[in-house]
Chain A
Amino acid sequence: MYSGLSLRLVLLTYPKGEIKVKKIVATVLLFTFSSSMFAADVITVKGSDTMVILAQRWAEMYMKMNPNVTIQVTGGGSGTGISALINGTTDICNASRPMKPTEKQKLKHRFSSLGVEIKTAKDGIAIYVNEKNPLKELTVQQIKDIYTGKITNWKEVGGIDSRIILYSRENNSGTYVYFKENVLDDEDYSPSCQNMPGTAALVNAISKDPNGVGYGGAAYAKGIREVAIKADANSPALLPIAENVKSGQYPITRFLFMYVKSKPSGAMKEYIDWILSEEGQNIVTKVGYFPLR
């Protein structure tokens, strides 16, 4: 109704004989502005698979309390979420790694904005093995040597005499990037790594493979066994439990992020503020991750 009215007003405003192009431009401008003025409170969230369950729980709880707000959550990986933020197809991007300089540059080009980073939770990256695997602990250096292909048999790290089967994530995964940069010191994964599309698929594969090893968010470690990690040979072996991750003692600890294009306002700001509130952070704990405070 509004758009129709604006069209009629424009046609009446211009006297006969004026350039038609002006009429068309003005009409399109009014139509597009008017259509965007009545947008409902729909917030789209896309990105990290590690965070997808957490993001769904947040959204469900928030929508219950605020029925006028709709929050649509999808996964796809941190890289996919960041691309969606740059394309303008998501309002919030979930990422289990920080944005890269090249990604920030693209956001700058499209929206003239640096993006706003919000830390929402902490996570300890767990190292999973099959429950039949007797191995109890690994050092960070041993993990690096395993994933870069320098160690290929479990007996080299105190396990049984059997070949190590490596499972990893796809390169659009934030966990893949974080693990590469922080555990492998930016060295390459061994070419023998089998890349899985999501953490659930990776966990499933290891549960069927007695020689398998994988990594992922602590919340996913169900049906398989986590290995205790030592920062170095002389450090204590720690599991990714709340006490160790929150204190920062667990050696592979990271933040889980949300990114938005510019400083949030309106419904989006209220939603993010709620996530960072005690209520939102309680959900972090329930899902299996670790709150910020």
Chain B
Amino acid sequence: MSQEESADTAAVSVNEQIEQLKLNDESVNEILLDMKSYIDLARKLKFSGYMQTQFQASDGIGGAPYPIGNFAGGNFPANVGSRFQVRRGRLKVQYENDLTFSQYVVQFDITQNGLGIKDAYINIKDPWVRAWNMRMGVFDRPFGFEVAYSSNFRETPERSRMSQTLFPGERELGAMIEFAPEVGDWTNYNLKLGVFNGVLPTANENDNSKDIIGRVGFILPFEEENIAFDGGVSIYQGSVRSNSKFIYSFNDAQSQFTVDSTVTNAGKQYDRQYIGIDAQLIYDMPSLGGASLRCEYNFGTQPGTSSSNSFYNPSTIQTLDIAGNKTKSTIETTNLYQRHFYGLYISMLQNIGTKHQVVLRYDVLDPNSEIDGSEIGAAGKLTTLGDLKFSTIGAGYIYHLDDNVKFVFYYEKVENETVNGTVAATSSLSQYTKDVNDNVFTFRMQYRFPW
């Protein structure tokens, strides 16, 4: 073969290879385009979650005539002074469409007790100024700071007794508008206002009245000093329907409950009204880490029952007989008690570097602020367990192993108001002539994956 012929052959071969490479390039592009549609979907669909497993020990034993751990993850069962729990097992699925500004969110809670739904809502952002959101479904009630502060971040194992009592389960079925601009002059202000069923998180509505919940918040950043002062004012304007004609109201002058037994009371709505103020001071301690001082104070009127200062929920109370009365045996526990309450918490959090945190918290709930402990249980006062004030002081240490795992060590000392010494031995209050043994130590492991 001449040199010319061999050069021609080589050129043909190079051209063939170039053509082959072009073909390969096109086929790779086709594969990439196909994959891109899946990648785009994957970007819109987000999974996140966390699991909290824990060991708890108390200085009391469950099954005593008073509850132990009822605000530290649930009552200790009879004869149990220590336990393991899967406290929370959250899995959140979120689909976001950037083009229509819509969001689908569902969050499950999987624990040793089974599967529950925590969040299930649709969120739509306004496409014009991007400051307004509309949300409908099951989601956090927009009240105060602690209710909406995720358990994923929270440094104490549980929310304060006040928040758990006023907002059991934190969430509610309803609709809400939110003003939270991301750009412009109003970024330091936010507003949430919603209408809710006013029952438990995923329970069906049980009356024809809706509850209004809202919060106006502000953020005051002093970025040069790395200090921020955030806060807000919240309202809860709602009511519950009484199944009973027996309505107990506290008479301040007589310092005792009085009973109104008008037959038409059954079926009437009774106030459930709260006002709350919350504030958070955030500051950076040089060479140590960030610190937060948080406090919240709520007060108002709570419709409860004789045994409980959680809100009166007709769905969970026995149906009335034809005359509008309950059976005699249940009267003491199912009639409606209206109490004026106050509650607060103050917590102090200090970061030490990026891995260590220490936290202190003090909280109080006085479900009946019009009576002193020394009068509770005295003859003729008609006071009950639901009138007892509790305060809790807790201290904890948190170690972040990495961005997934953290360990929490937390001890809480619960103090109850001591009642009048003349209380009848048969009364459920008789245990509370002294501080009962219901302190709890928690060791928790948490694993989370990106949120």
Contact = CB atoms under 8 A, between A and B. Distances in A.
Interface in A84-117: 87-89, 100-102, 104, 108-114, 116-117
Contacts of A109: 149-150, 153
B284 interface: yes
A21 B439 CA distance: 14
Given A36-B356, A83-B450, A109-B153, A114 B221 contact: yes
A32 B351 contact: no
Contacts of B441: 21
A33 interface: yes
B356 A262 contact: no
Contact of A36 (B187, B219, B351, B355): B355
Contacts of A101: 180, 182, 187, 219
A230 interface: no
Contacts of B356: 32-33, 36
A15 interface: no
Interface in A165-195: 170-171, 181, 186, 188, 191
Interface string A211-234: 000000000000000000000000
Given A32-B356, A33-B356, A88-B400, A112 B351 contact: yes
A119 interface: no
A1 interface: no
A114 B282 contact: yes
A33 B355 CA distance: 9
A211 to B, nearest CB: 16
B130 A186 contact: yes
A: contact size bracket = 20 to 34
A111 B286 contact: no
Interface stretch (B241-249, B287-295, B303-311): B287-295
Contacts of A68: none
B409 A25 contact: yes
B223 A262 contact: no
Contacts, number: 92
B425 interface: no
Given A83-B450, A113-B284, A28 B223 contact: no
A108 B229 CA distance: 11
Contacts of A181: 183
Interface string B421-451: 0000000000000000000010100000010
A29 interface: yes
Nearest to B288: A262
Nearest to A208: B25
A101 B187 CA distance: 7
A265 B183 CA distance: 31
A111 B350 CA distance: 9
Given A33-B356, A111-B290, A100 B182 contact: yes
A150 interface: no
B290 A191 contact: no
A109 to B, nearest CB: 5
A255 to B, nearest CB: 15
A155 interface: no
A114 B153 contact: no
Contact of A263 (B57, B226, B450): B226
Interface string B129-154: 01000000000000000000110010
A26 to B, nearest CB: 10
A28 B397 CA distance: 10
B99 A188 contact: yes
How extensive is the interface on chain B, given as a class? 35 or more
Contacts of B349: 112
A246 to B, nearest CB: 25
A257 to B, nearest CB: 13
B397 A36 contact: no
Interface string A7-42: 000000000000001000100110011001000000
A25 B226 CA distance: 32
A107 B100 CA distance: 28
A67 B306 CA distance: 72
Contact of A112 (B289, B355, B397): B289
A261 interface: yes
Contact of B403 (A28, A87, A186): A87
Interface string B216-235: 00010101001110100000
Interface string A193-209: 00000000000000000
B292 A112 contact: yes
Contacts of A21: 57, 441, 443
A113 B450 contact: no
Nearest to A112: B290
Contacts of A188: 98-99, 127
Interface in B276-322: 282-284, 286-287, 289-292
B179 interface: no
Choose among A83, A89, A110, A171 the residue with the greatest number of B CB atoms under 10 Å from its CB: A110
A101 B127 CA distance: 19
B353 A114 contact: no
B104 interface: no
A238 B290 CA distance: 45
B95 interface: no
A101 B181 CA distance: 9
Contact of A191 (B43, B99, B402): B99
B228 A29 contact: no
Given A101-B182, A262-B289, A114 B399 contact: no
A262 B399 contact: no
Given A25-B409, A29-B397, A89-B403, A113 B289 contact: yes
A265 B286 contact: yes
Contacts of A263: 226, 284, 286
A28 B407 contact: yes
A116 B226 CA distance: 7
Contacts of B403: 87-89
A98 B450 CA distance: 22
B308 to A, nearest CB: 32
23 contacts: A21-B57, A21-B443, A25-B397, A28-B399, A88-B355, A89-B403, A100-B182, A101-B219, A110-B153, A111-B289, A112-B289, A112-B290, A113-B226, A113-B290, A114-B221, A117-B223, A181-B183, A186-B183, A188-B127, A262-B286, A263-B226, A265-B286, A265-B287
Q: Which 10 pairs across A and B sit closest by C-beta, in order of nearness?
A: A112-B290, A113-B290, A87-B403, A112-B292, A262-B284, A109-B153, A111-B290, A88-B354, A89-B403, A32-B399
Given A87-B450, A188-B99, A262-B286, 19 more contacts: A28-B407, A32-B355, A87-B403, A100-B182, A102-B182, A108-B230, A109-B149, A109-B153, A112-B283, A112-B290, A113-B226, A114-B221, A114-B223, A114-B228, A114-B282, A181-B183, A188-B127, A261-B354, A265-B286
